[in-house]
């Protein structure tokens, strides 16, 4: 991916080469799609597609539709990216808190509705826990991105671009709304998490122009790091307990589905948790 494709310029959804425009408009309703000079394909055919087609291709994890949304769509519709980042952060934080509350029914993370102070206390702790987990997850991925940018000849990348790519690719979290209305098996939570991680893998691959095995490994490391929890208990004094809770089935499935690498067995062996 070229440097100018990341800075106020659109790109070809097939090869990632920078282009000036994705279509030429002759009259209202009469446009001609631009062809890429590098790969000779139509630069962005999603300009003429309905949102349902874009959504289907998102679910199918096609890299082309991710490039359309990350690079071309904001310029075509003049979106304020920073406002979109904060609004998306708030929405997904609330959805993660609701999901955590649904899966922790009868446990410590359950929100108590007995009184207003109890509700504020338990809800605050739950939101704080979810916030810390998300901060660890995104921080791990951002640190890995910085390392990649410094060790390889990558173009400059703003952290807002990568953060927005990871947030927008977490659209599967919207299924939490349906889980709050209908009863679902607890296993559905892991399925949704698996799809979120796989979509984040494609987003990281597209925005960083990296290979799928590297993107999948970094996303899995971020997911594993976000599961570190520090528990504090008081039994006549302060006793600290550190536990590492990893959803090994979830992360193994995402790596096995996303990677096509001859050394993936060695990758899994380094990520086993004792």
Measured CA to CA in angstroms, residue 261 lies from 245, 258, 265 at distances of 27, 9, 9
Q: For position 111, what pLDDT does the model report?
A: 59
Q: Which residues are CB-contacts of 252 (< 8 A; sequence separation ≥ 6)?
A: 268
The pTM of this model reads 0.75
What value does the mean pLDDT take over residues 191-207?
Answer: 92
Span 25-73, pLDDT tens digits: 888 878 899 999 999 899 999 998 999 999 999 999 999 999 999 999 9
pLDDT at 128 over 90: no
pLDDT at res. 59: 92
Query: How much is the pLDDT for 105?
Result: 53
Closest CA to 179 of 87, 88, 96, 120: 96
Q: How many CB atoms lie within 10 A of CB 34?
A: 18
* Residue 228, C-beta contacts closer than 8 angstroms, at least 6 positions apart: 136, 242, 244, 245
pLDDT, position 257: 52
pLDDT at residue 246 in the model: 38
**Does residue 62 or residue 236 have the better pLDDT?**
62
Give the H/E segment covering residue 241. Answer: strand 238-244
Backbone angle region of 23, left / alpha / beta, with phi > 0 → left and psi within -120 to 50 → alpha: beta
Q: Using one digit for the tens of pLDDT, what is the confidence trace for 155-175?
A: 667 777 888 889 989 999 988
Residues 5-23, mean pLDDT to the nearest whole number: 80
């Amino acid at each position: 991916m070229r440097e100018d494709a990341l800075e106020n310029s659109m790109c070809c959804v097939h090869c990632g080469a920078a282009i000036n425009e994705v279509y030429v408009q002759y009259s209202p309703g009469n446009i001609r799609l631009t062809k890429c000079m590098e790969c000779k394909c139509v630069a962005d055919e999603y300009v003429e597609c309905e949102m349902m087609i874009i959504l289907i291709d998102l679910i199918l994890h096609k890299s082309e539709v991710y490039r359309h949304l990350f690079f071309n769509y904001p310029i075509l519709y003049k979106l304020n990216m920073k406002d979109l980042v904060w609004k998306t952060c708030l929405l997904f934080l609330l959805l993660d808190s609701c999901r955590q509350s649904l899966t922790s029914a009868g446990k410590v993370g359950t929100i108590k509705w007995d009184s207003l102070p109890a509700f504020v206390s338990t809800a605050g702790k739950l939101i704080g826990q979810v916030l810390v987990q998300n901060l660890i997850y995104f921080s791990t991925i951002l640190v890995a991105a910085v390392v990649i940018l410094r060790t390889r000849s990558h173009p400059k990348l703003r952290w807002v671009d990568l953060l927005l790519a990871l947030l927008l690719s977490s659209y599967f979290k919207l299924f939490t709304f349906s889980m709050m209305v209908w009863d679902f098996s607890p296993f559905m939570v892991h399925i949704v998490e698996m799809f979120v991680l796989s979509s984040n893998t494609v987003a990281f691959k597209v925005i960083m122009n990296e290979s799928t095995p590297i993107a999948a490994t970094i996303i899995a490391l971020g997911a594993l790091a976000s599961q570190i929890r520090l528990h504090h208990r008081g039994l006549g004094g302060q006793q600290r307990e550190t536990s590492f809770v990893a959803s090994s089935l979830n992360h193994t499935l995402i790596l096995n589905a996303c990677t096509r690498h001859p050394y993936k067995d060695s990758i899994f062996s380094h990520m086993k948790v004792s």
